[in-house]
């Protein structure tokens, strides 16, 4: 009887923890405060606080620096610098994203480097979730895979690029990656015209900052190609580039 009760309590705790994780997955990089999480999950504050402490011990949840908000902990070794944190929450970035010529269900993403990967640290979706490489906050892709991860790689030292190229891959893939890196450095943006996800285009640019410290943040968009006029990739790339540099 006691053993069965313990099993039931364990199942309930797992369900409650899953509810918290689900709520945080929708909150992006801004996160949620304890009270809001408790309300969203219909849990007492004390229970929510206890479960959050356990999730933090397991490195599934972390605190937003200098706030009382909680966010999902990105996979892999990744920590926001103070410069990154302030940039992400700046009016400037919100203005840039709001001014993009995107359609109803297109999406925008913020990416940063995490070891040999690019990790999504924030995402802005429409009513429908468009297919994307990272699939939202916390998703990772290898450096050089897709516009955002290629834009990050293009800003890395040659030593890092050579390390990525040395990984096992067909020779033609390495040649294409080098061409994409050269194009990214020359044009200031990267594009994909539906070669990775059928019907879905992508464009990405690096976000410059005034500080000497390099943030390595990239702003990318994913969009339905059929919903935009021909040449949208380069047009959007130039618009993005102008927007982040203004």
CATH number of the domain bearing residue 205: 3.30.450.40
Strands 117-124 and 189-197: what pairing? unpaired
Same domain, residue pair 50 and 89: no
Nearest to 183, CA basis, from 233, 221, 226: 233
Q: Which pLDDT score, from 0 to 100, does residue 185 have? A: 93
In a domain, 185, yes or no: yes
The number of residues in the chain equals: 246
The answer to whether the CB of 9 falls within 8 A of the CB of 47 is no
pTM for this prediction = 0.66
Q: Which pLDDT score, from 0 to 100, does residue 107 have? A: 87
pLDDT at 6 over 60: no
Residue 113 parent element (H or E): strand 107-114
Same domain, residue pair 101 and 152: yes
Q: Which of 72, 97, 126 is the last residue of a domain?
A: 72
In a domain, 142, yes or no: yes
Q: Which pLDDT score, from 0 to 100, does residue 128 have? A: 78
CATH number of the domain bearing residue 30: 1.10.10.10
Over residues 41-67, the pLDDT tens digits come to 999 999 999 898 888 877 778 777 667
Range of the domain at 17: 2-72
Same domain, residue pair 121 and 199: yes
Same domain, residue pair 101 and 160: yes
Q: Which of 72, 97, 121 is the last residue of a domain?
A: 72
Q: Which pLDDT score, from 0 to 100, does residue 114 have? A: 80
Structure tokens at 90: 């700046």
Same domain, residue pair 175 and 68: no
Same domain, residue pair 150 and 117: yes
Same domain, residue pair 64 and 90: no
**Range scoring the smallest mean pLDDT among 21-25, 90-94, 108-112:** 90-94
Domain count, the chain: 2
* Measured distance CA(75)–CA(81) in Å, rounded: 16
Over residues 110-125, the pLDDT tens digits come to 888 888 888 888 788 8
Q: Which pLDDT score, from 0 to 100, does residue 27 have? A: 76
Same domain, residue pair 36 and 138: no
Same domain, residue pair 63 and 155: no
Nearest to 111, CA basis, from 220, 222, 195, 186: 220
pLDDT at 210 over 60: no
Same domain, residue pair 35 and 108: no
Q: Which of 34, 49, 72 is the last residue of a domain?
A: 72
């Amino acid at each position: 009887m006691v053993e069965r009760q313990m099993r039931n309590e364990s199942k309930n705790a797992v369900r409650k923890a899953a509810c918290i994780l689900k709520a945080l997955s929708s909150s992006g990089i801004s996160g949620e405060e304890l009270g809001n999480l408790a309300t969203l999950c219909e849990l007492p504050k004390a229970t929510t606080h206890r479960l959050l402490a356990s999730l933090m011990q397991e490195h599934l949840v972390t605190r937003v620096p200098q706030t009382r908000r909680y966010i999902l902990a990105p996979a892999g070794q990744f920590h926001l610098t103070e410069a990154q944190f302030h940039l992400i929450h700046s009016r400037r970035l919100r203005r840039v994203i709001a001014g993009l010529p995107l359609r109803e269900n297109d999406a925008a993403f913020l990416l940063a480097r995490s070891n040999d990967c690019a990790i999504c640290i924030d995402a802005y979706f429409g009513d429908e979730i468009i297919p994307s490489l990272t699939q939202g906050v916390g998703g990772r892709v290898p450096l050089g895979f897709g516009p955002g991860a290629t834009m990050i790689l293009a800003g890395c030292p040659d030593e890092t690029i050579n390390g990525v190229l040395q990984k096992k891959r067909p020779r033609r893939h390495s040649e294409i990656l080098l061409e994409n890196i050269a194009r990214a450095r020359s044009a200031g943006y990267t594009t994909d015209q539906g070669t990775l996800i059928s019907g879905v285009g992508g464009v990405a640019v690096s976000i410059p900052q005034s500080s000497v410290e390099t943030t390595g943040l990239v702003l990318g968009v994913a969009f339905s190609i059929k919903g935009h006029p021909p040449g949208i990739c380069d047009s959007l790339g130039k618009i993005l580039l102008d927007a982040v540099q203004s």
